[in-house]
Structure 1
Amino acid sequence: MPSSAEPLIRFEGTAKTYPDGTVAVGDLDLDVREHELLTLVGPSGSGKSTLLRMVNRLVEPTAGRVLVDGRDVATQDPVLLRRGIGYVIQDIGLFPHRTVAQNVATVPGLLGWDRRRTQDRVAELLRLVGLDPTVHGPRYPHELSGGQRQRVGVARALAANPRVMLMDEPFGAVDPEGRRALQEEFSRIHDELGTTVLFVTHDIDEAVLLGDRVAVFSQGGRLEQVDSPIRVLTRPASPFVEKFIGASSAVRLLSLTTLSPADLTPGSAPAPARALRVGDSLEEAFAALATSPDGVVAVDGDDGAPAGTLTLAGLHAALRRSVREEAAAPA
């Protein structure tokens, strides 16, 4: 849910060069809008994590500034700054000898919240990330699956209502099925809370699935393109972006586009095993068509009444419609 207001995070001529001469980030200008989820994607060595860590001063820039809500982070106490910014990493960093509830309560405790307020917030957040407070709250991290631990990490990062969340490959160590579930869950949470998120990934599929916008980086922290997911996939701004996306960009569009009544053919399908609904993703539609013996799938409207049928031709038309609409939209 990007905002048109002033950016919440701004990188102004930001650069990071290490003493051995390695350029991690080079002269970057980038605005992050309030409420948006901006994914940072690129190969290893493209400066994504370095850029992220400059926001909470785990890494200091060698040139330029990083502003959060109009204030240069270099002028702020790093401890206080970090307490107001959620941070989630791949290995989670949960305290092994503290329960799930105690882990989530870490920042509220540092901020001096009273016991009742903290308990209520912990329970609220565990439910938000799909965990039962009474079941999972008393457990220790080693008693949870990898996906559950990542959910606890997200809950802990959200505990003090941060306006900004930094996420560095947060789902990278989770198996593919669990990773997709976490992606869908986090997308729902972001839609609900509207927190401004910088999300680092090396996976272009994850970047376009989650991001309101996608920032593509090449070696040396060079920003090649920042744009909507569909524009990045269909209108790459450089040969690097085109190569990085690869040949399967059209398939990725399936997860970004939803069915509309305009994509349907009037009529009904014979006794389908399942029916789609207007608003379902084209990825779901493709899966349904792939298992349909006659290549026709019934589609219901929002009210549950039959709205028509979808064929492969309709699926293709929906994909083309999405690309045309995105191309016509203002940048």
Structure 2
Amino acid sequence: MTQTETPSEALIRFDGVGMTYADGTVAVGHLDLDVAPHELLTLVGPSGSGKSTLLRMVNRLVEPTSGRVLLEGEDVARMDAARLRRGIGYVIQDVGLFPHRTVAQNVATVPGLLGWDRRRTRERVEELLTLVRLDPAVHGPRYPQELSGGQRQRVGVARALATHPKVMLMDEPFGAVDPEGRRSLQAEFRRIHDELGTTVLLVTHDIDEAVMLGDRVAVLSQGGRLEQLAPPAVLLSRPANAFVEGFIGDARAVKLLALTELVRADVEVSSPAGAGPAAEPARRAAGTPGAPTVRLGDTLSSAFSALATAEDGAVTVMDDGGSAVGTLTPDGLHAALRRAVGTGAR
């Protein structure tokens, strides 16, 4: 097992937790794992690796047979289960919306249980539907069956966030959505997390989803064994063992392209006078409508796509102000990928 440095102050701590069923089946062996405040930690692994079991230990839907789960330093086994669950957002694959209640009423479920007044609840519902990019006036009065799968999933996220939970648990939250809708939801949720800073523990079997969303990724094998815990780029560039390498698959370089940003070091910069061969593609592109360009901070996968359509084998690189800072060539892209593999930088 290989881990990167763990947080000194964990919001969630799995302290030697284990789960063994009466028939002797081990769902989780002896696992230690910390989740930092405001972190989005993804749990990924094959079926039978204990991902969902670990998630459900946090809100006491499953009780460990050994060890402890600590939330802000307190053993959840000693907390009132109903109070604990009302303070934790929970999103599952099939959403679990109440079909006889409107979207607004679904989002207002936990505030209602906590006795919020109508005005406060209404304002919070409108705020959350706007956050997940659903129009409160249009979607609030509708019923779940009148929504698409992706819209229902957005409502599920809004409901989970209703009472400002410090922790959100997500179990295969986008698994029932079509691939295009899933990509859109992933991007939306990453935006929401970056905006709110909620601590998230997300279970998935999809390594692409795990590395796209996670600040760190925990790779689990059969019986809940932690094989590697690392930031996405480190995981892809330096798998800890054969199991992790096999689970990631053969397209590690392609995944790294989607995680790594283009920086100035990857760009051929022209001389101050604007002379020299590196300046020529930029001059041509600046005067050619529709010529491909990329910006500093774009992913290397975007840069690769631009290079693939460049007639002269180079694309102009722009800064945030829209000024050309140089050109990117295939050699520069190759060097950038080597940098990512060598440093594990995201």
Query: How many pairs align?
Result: 327
Q: Aligned match of 2:304 in 281, 286, 303?
A: 286
In 1, Cα distance between equivalents of 2:65 and 2:43: 21
1:67 to 65, 70, 76: 70
Tell whether 2:107 aligns with 1:104: yes
Task: Indicate whether 1:162 and 2:162 are aligned.
Answer: no
Q: Paired residue for 2:92?
A: 89
Instruction: Determine if the alignment matches structure 1 residue 307 to structure 2 residue 310.
Output: no
Paired residue secondary structure (1:121):
helix
- Cα distance in 2 for partners of 1:186, 1:308 equals 34
Please tell me whether residue 113 in structure 1 is matched to residue 121 in structure 2: no
Give percent identity, aligned residues only. 72
What do residues 208-245 of structure 1 show as CA deviations (whole Å, max 9, x unaligned)?
11111000000011111111111111211121111111
Which residue identity does 1:183 align to in structure 2? Q
2:6 touches 2:34 (CA, 8 Å); kept in 1? no
State TM-score, norm by structure 2: 0.91
For the pair 1:27 / 2:27, whether they are aligned, the reply is no
Query: Judging changes above 3 Å, is the alpha-carbon distance between structure 1 residues 95 and 274 closer, same or farther for their aligned structure 2 residues?
Result: farther
Q: In the alignment, what sits opposite 1:277?
A: 295
RMSD (Å) for aligned C-alpha atoms: 1.7
31, 50, 54: which one pairs with 1:51? Answer: 54
Structure 1 residues not aligned, in runs of 5+: none
Deviation at 1:4, TM superposition (A): 4.9
Alignment CA distance shift 1:317-1:151 (3 Å): same
- SS of corresponding position for 1:215: strand
Tell me the TM-score normalised to structure 1 length.
Answer: 0.95
Return the match for 1:201 from 198, 201, 204.
Answer: 204
Query: What's the CA shift for 1:181?
Result: 0.8
- Aligned to 1:230, which of 233, 247, 250? 233
Question: Structure 1, residues 233-289: CA drift from partner, whole Å, max 9, x if none?
Answer: 121112111111111111101121111122112330532444322111112222222
- Give yes or no for contact 1:3–1:36 (8 Å, CA) kept in 2: no
For the 8 Å contact 2:238–2:341, the answer to whether it is kept is no
- In the aligned structure 1, how far is the partner of 2:312 from the partner of 2:91? 46
**Match of 1:149, SS?**
helix
For structure 2, the 5+ residue unaligned runs are 270-278
Per-residue Cα deviation, 1:102-158 (whole angstroms, up to 9, x for no partner): 111111111111111111111111111111111111111111111111111111111
2:16 counterpart of 1:13: yes
